[in-house]
Amino acid sequence: MPDQKRRKGDHPGTLIIIGGHEDKEHDMVILKEVARRVGKGRLVVTTVASHQPEGYFESYQEAFKKLGITDLTELYIAERSEAMQEEKIKAFDDVKAVFFTGGDQLRITSQIGDTPIYSRIHEIYDAGGLIVGTSAGASVMCETMMIEGKGGESHRIGDLRMAPGLKLIRNAIIDQHFAERGRMGRLLGAVAQNPRVLGIGIDEDTAIIMEGQEYFTVLGDGAVYVVDGSGVTHSNIADGANNQILSIYDIKLHVLSEGDAFDLVHRRPIEVWKLKDQQSPTQHDVPEQKPVRKKTEQKAAEKT
């Protein structure tokens, strides 16, 4: 659901949230969409999620070069103190888009949360810019993110760890590598903890595109699973013993593929033809973003 605290008239930017392992060599459907939106603007690829970032940036540099992106730079932060350095902060001057690569989502928040870089990212988004995340970089977009939980089996109570994310999306929790790693159980476990939160599971080489906070469209080779717990009538999440299998009643599931859209306000799939009159995010021209040059008051990623 949209962030109700945004002021009327605010124009948030675009989020492209990828389930990981996006194609970098063949059709590159998702990266082409990123490149189309970046255009001749500056793109920062941040590899902060990785403990060993060698090779991450180079793979994206090669792919984006094929797609015509020439103004591309890497940002890596080995220690949190570096996120306070003027040189690192200036890397975001006049930036149109930021791309978070995969790794460990907790490393992203622990390194940049409540720093000038965190503020910069929100400034870029609030000014109409593009924020992209893949794998760990997808999960970190949420107000609350999953950081640990077993896949490939039914969810057991107590087997899930969550933490504050970057708060670019409210009222939703995102999981990635979804079908490939059998993560339906743990997404159900996350939704059971607070059914107000919409669960979104994204397959590999698949993305959701959110222009603003009201709906998303699906792009890519796999599926997007939306778990809606608003109608849940019972679960044992609070009363069950630790390690007991989760039970939950009256959960709703939607499965979407490329070209489908989802209304985050009313929690319903949208027929694509209805979006065309509103200019679908994958079809219309990208709104011009005003460059962000001035620092604003720091915002805390950990504030909930």
CATH code for position 202: 3.40.50.880
Residue 159: inside a domain: yes
Q: Are 72 and 61 in contact (CB under 8 A)?
A: yes
Is 177 a residue of the active site? yes
Residue 210: inside a domain: yes
pLDDT band, residue 47 (cuts 50/70/90)? very high
Q: Total domain count for the chain?
A: 1
pLDDT at residue 210 is higher than 90: yes
pLDDT at residue number 302 = 31
Model's pTM, two decimal places?
A: 0.87
pLDDT at residue 247 is higher than 90: yes
Q: How many residues does the chain have?
A: 304
Provide, rounded to the nearest whole percent, the portion of the chain with pLDDT above 90: 81
Q: Which residue range(s) make up the domain with 150?
A: 14-276
pLDDT at residue 304 is higher than 50: no
Mean pLDDT of 49-72: 92
Mean pLDDT of 54-64: 92
Residue 265: inside a domain: yes
pLDDT at residue number 277 = 60
Is 135 a residue of the active site? yes
Cβ atoms within 10 Å of 60's Cβ, excluding its own = 22
Mean pLDDT of 145-169: 95
Single-letter code of the amino acid located at 132: V
pLDDT at residue 175 is higher than 80: yes
Residue 131: inside a domain: yes
Of these residues, 22, 122, 177, 280, which one is catalytic? 177
Residue 21: inside a domain: yes
pLDDT at residue 293 is higher than 60: no
Pairing type for strands 261-263 and 268-270 reads antiparallel
pLDDT at residue 281 is higher than 50: no
Residue 296: inside a domain: no
pLDDT band, residue 292 (cuts 50/70/90)? very low
pLDDT at residue number 298 = 37
In Å, how far are 122, 123, 196 from 107, measured between CA atoms?
A: 18, 21, 27
Mean pLDDT of 222-248: 96
In Å, how far are 44, 89, 197 from 117, measured between CA atoms?
A: 12, 6, 27
Residue 3: inside a domain: no
Taking only the tens place, the pLDDT of each residue in 9-18 is: 355 899 999 9
Residue 49: inside a domain: yes
Of these residues, 50, 135, 139, 235, which one is catalytic? 135
pLDDT band, residue 56 (cuts 50/70/90)? confident
Of these residues, 33, 143, 204, 211, which one is catalytic? 204
Q: What is the 3-state secondary structure (H, E, C) of the chain?
A: CCCCCCCCCCCCCEEEEECCCCCCCCCCHHHHHHHHHHCCCEEEEECCCCCCCCCHHHHHHHHHHHCCCCCEEEECCCCHHHHHCHHHHHCCCCEEEEEECCCCHHHHHHHHCCCHHHHHHHHHHHCCCEEEEECHHHHCCECEEEEEECCCCCCECCCEEEEECCCCECCEEEEECCCCCCCHHHHHHHHHHCCCCEEEEECCCEEEEEECCCEEEEEECCCEEEEECCCCCEECCCCCCCCCECCEECCEEEEECCCCEEECCCCEEECHHHHHCCCCCCCCCCCCCCCCCCCCCCCCCCCC
